[in-house]
Structure 1
Amino acid sequence: MLINPDLSIILASKSPRRSYLLEQAGIPFTVRTQDVEEIFPADLDPLEIAPFLAELKAEGVRDLLRADNEVLLTADSVVLIDGVKHGKPKSREHAIETLEKLSGRSHIVVTGCCLLSSSKKEIFSSKAEVWLNEMTREEIEWYVDNYQPYDKAGAYAIQEWVGLAKICKIEGTYPCIMGLPVDLVYQHLLKW
């Protein structure tokens, strides 16, 4: 690995998908988490919400840093339909409603990241456009009932049925859509 071996990466996320992506990329890390209230200004540009929230999370868990060689990594993903943020669904009906909006059209996924140490901070984001084929109400209900996508922005995961059976095109990277733009994380850590 070309990342400085003296760096200790701390992933401040409970997301199993983010852990999986770092593991697959061979980037060693430790998980330390703490809840942070995710609030953002109502007038914030929708493309800036994810990086804003990633920085908010990093600042909110700054006390998880225990040594000068530790670097916190936080991330947040948002799904934008016609420029409107769609977060994690609050109920079965909300998940169904979100997927009905996504059906047969494109949407934007933005994943923002923040790297934070005791002396440095970098904020960056990745954007992808995703096109979905039409989904019937029956398919949507089946997906929601079988996959319970309540912890996923936009009510779906690219690595599950919707992503595998209904995505027909993407512009951007798969890891960005999955929740962590590993290419950018790696580039930033290389220069850290």
Structure 2
Amino acid sequence: MKKLILASGSPRRKQLLEQGQLQFSISTSTVDETITEPLNPEEVVEQLSLRKAQDVFSRFDDSIIIGADTIVSINGTILGKPKDEEEAFQMLQQLSGNEHDVYTGVAILSKEKTIVFHERTIVSFWELTTAEIEDYISSGEPFDKAGSYGIQGLGALFVKKINGDYFNVVGLPLARTVRELQNFQNSIS
């Protein structure tokens, strides 16, 4: 059985894979995440997850690598991780009272095979006050999260409803990833 490596330093993805009872190690990707060509959100997360997996695969080519990337999209605008408090405020203000999409792309690759897929979850936010947004930003939680919020943390207080995989919003569609990985491993053994 090949060694499984997660190409991500995300503590949330690590926790999710542990929840899935997978044995794996971590090697963080250092790939540039800049997208220059015009792509839709599905293509962006699939391309970035594949880039991350390929980056780690170049160092561990005898393993199975899982790469993942999550973005938030609202009205055709992709919201990544905020650079500063001002950008976090603008993102949260944009999400306030609105519905947005969360996409996570996942790439699984080895010498024998590569699969790439994505999941989409629709999230609706309550109307947020300026004070709520400022208090949340002062917690520090928004700064390493796409769209400036974490559904698994204090950001949960903003969520009115979701349609789709909750874990996808956290950063990895766990059930689908585990099933895809099982099929992947069966097809190369």
Q: Of 108, 111, 115, which aligns to 2:104?
A: 111
Offset of residue 61 of structure 1: 2.4
Distance across 2 between alignment mates of 1:186 and 1:175: 12
* 2:63 is the counterpart of 1:63: no
- Higher mean C-alpha displacement, 131-140 vs 47-56: 47-56
Structure 2 alignment gaps of length 5 or more: 185-189
Distance across 2 between alignment mates of 1:27 and 1:54: 19
What residue identity is the alignment partner of 2:87? H
Name the structure 1 match of 2:166: 174
Offset of residue 125 of structure 1: 0.5
Q: 1:18 to 1:173 in 2, by over 3 A?
A: same
Name the structure 2 match of 1:132: 125
Name the structure 2 match of 1:3: none
Name the structure 2 match of 1:15: 10
Contact 1:130 1:170 in 2 (8 A): yes
User: What's the Cα RMSD here?
Assistant: 1.2
Name the structure 2 match of 1:32: 27
Superposition TM-score, scaled by structure 2 size: 0.93
Q: Of 147, 150, 162, which aligns to 1:157?
A: 150
Structure 1 alignment gaps of length 5 or more: 1-5
Report how many residues are paired.
184
Distance across 2 between alignment mates of 1:87 and 1:133: 20
Offset of residue 41 of structure 1: 3.6
